[in-house]
Structure 1
Amino acid sequence: MTAPIRVLIVEDEPLTAEAHAAYLARLDGFELVGSVPTGRAMLAAVTADRPDLVLLDLDLPDAHGLQLVRALRSAGSAIDVIAVTAANDARGVKNAIALGIVQYLVKPFSFRTFAERMATYRDFRLGFEDRRSLSQTDIDERLRALRPVTRPDLEKGISSDTLESIRAVLMRSTSGASATEVARETGTSRVTARRYLEHLKTVGQVDKDVRYSGPGRPEYEYRWLR
């Protein structure tokens, strides 16, 4: 039986780190070894916990993520790194590729996209096990495995800023929230809140159930899948 891939999350925003950990927990073949909020803590954790993979936010309070990758490479570390970041400038992406970052995920993204990228990374990694040499065809297949074709996460008319604010409301809630409650907290209309909540359900980030809270018409409750 193949050992799980040990993953370190490096993210300074607690709710985002929690979301990534929850996503990871839903996947087979991966094991979370820790979550740290700074570059200094990341370098220490890589040495102490020896993860196989780092999910790295590039915009950290004490260092840029690419500086950390350079430090790892200079120290002789070949640890795999997936960038998980809102940064999408062309130069930064090019530099990330040059440093050997194996995947680049731009926030915000759905669980579907996260799962697809992690699955292709897992297949890429497994493709090197028990092999002393690779043919040209083998090499081409492994390189293609890291470049999946993914459908866009956001439906037409879905704003990433509004989506993130609604995600944040659900992630803070321990008991779920209705469209009315989400609308009140985010300053959107109930119709808008429900459309975004249904989008989150479609992409697999929330669960939906009927809430009965006394006489009258029941309403739907949406709960973040932790």
Structure 2
Amino acid sequence: MIDVLVVDDDFHVAGINERYVSRVPGFRVVGRAHDAASAFAAVQRGGIDLVLLDHYLPDESGLCLTRRLRREGPDVDVIMVTADNRPASVQEALRAGVLQYIVKPFTFEALRGKLEGYAQLRAALGDTALDQDKIDRVLGTLRAAAAVGHMPKGYTERTAELIRQIVCRAGGPVSAHEVSAQARVSRSTAQRYLKYLEEQGRLRLTLKYGDSGRPEHHYSTA
């Protein structure tokens, strides 16, 4: 279980964010804070893996708090949530060690994608050793999460998530034909979504060669 501290100066927004986080399997909110001092004290007490951090706080900016946490510890990961969409602010946050940057207002689906990408990152980094392919896929989870909530025209996140879940439950590589049957969509639709999810780093593509010598695309969890 990944323990999350929700930090926002707006009590109402903090409550919404807490409910969003609690809806994502594998995550639980263990505390809320409405200013930087309370957030820093909560992290110092321990038991927190991830801080969902508002940038605009009454006593100190979220960015300054992030830098202070990096200097003084303990180690926690930070996802910044803010209405500030200026390129310089995003760059500054990334340099400070923020893993993800979410611009308000955001949907549950957008936050869920980022949290799921973060969970995959933590799981991958728990391995004893990483080869280059694994490292590329680990970094791909963050790139994929950044794209969630901005689906290409003609795609829906609901269908994408349905197809991803079918592949996850399969327990091994599956073909577009198998996915289309379970999702009750056409094979061409299944292929489009599988290709999209693979390009976003949310699924992994492997080729299986049959008697004809032509490769068949199979997909599994990234």
Instruction: State the TM bucket, normalised to the shorter chain.
Output: 0.5 to 0.7
Shift of 1:120: 0.8
Report the AA paired with residue 122 of structure 1.
Answer: A
* 1:122-137 matched pairs, under 5 angstroms: 122-129=119-126, 131-137=127-133
Report the AA paired with residue 79 of structure 1.
Answer: V
Report the AA paired with residue 135 of structure 1.
Answer: D
CA-based RMSD: 1.6
* 1:61-100 matched pairs, under 5 angstroms: 61-100=58-97
Alignment of 1:23 with 2:17, yes or no, is: no
Gaps of 5+ in 1: 156-226
Q: What percent identity do the matched residue pairs reach?
A: 38
| Contact kept? 2:109, 2:149, Cα under 8 Å | no
Shift of 1:151: 3.9
Alignment of 1:40 with 2:37, yes or no, is: yes
Report the AA paired with residue 106 of structure 2.
Answer: F
Shift of 1:76: 4.2
Alignment of 1:108 with 2:105, yes or no, is: yes
Gaps of 5+ in 2: 154-222
TM-score normalised by L of structure 2? 0.64
* 1:179-218 matched pairs, under 5 angstroms: none
Report the AA paired with residue 150 of structure 2.
Answer: P
Q: Which residue of 2 aligns with 1:145?
A: 141
String of CA shifts for 1:63-96, please: whole Å, max 9, x gaps.
0111111111111443100001111111110011
Secondary structure, counterpart of 1:62 in structure 2: coil
Shift of 1:133: 2.0
| Contact kept? 1:33, 1:49, Cα under 8 Å | no
Report the AA paired with residue 142 of structure 1.
Answer: V
Shift of 1:117: 1.0
**Higher relative contact order at CA 8 Å, sep ≥6: structure 1 or structure 2?**
1
Report the AA paired with residue 34 of structure 1.
Answer: G
String of CA shifts for 1:170-193, please: whole Å, max 9, x gaps.
xxxxxxxxxxxxxxxxxxxxxxxx
Alignment: residue pair count: 150
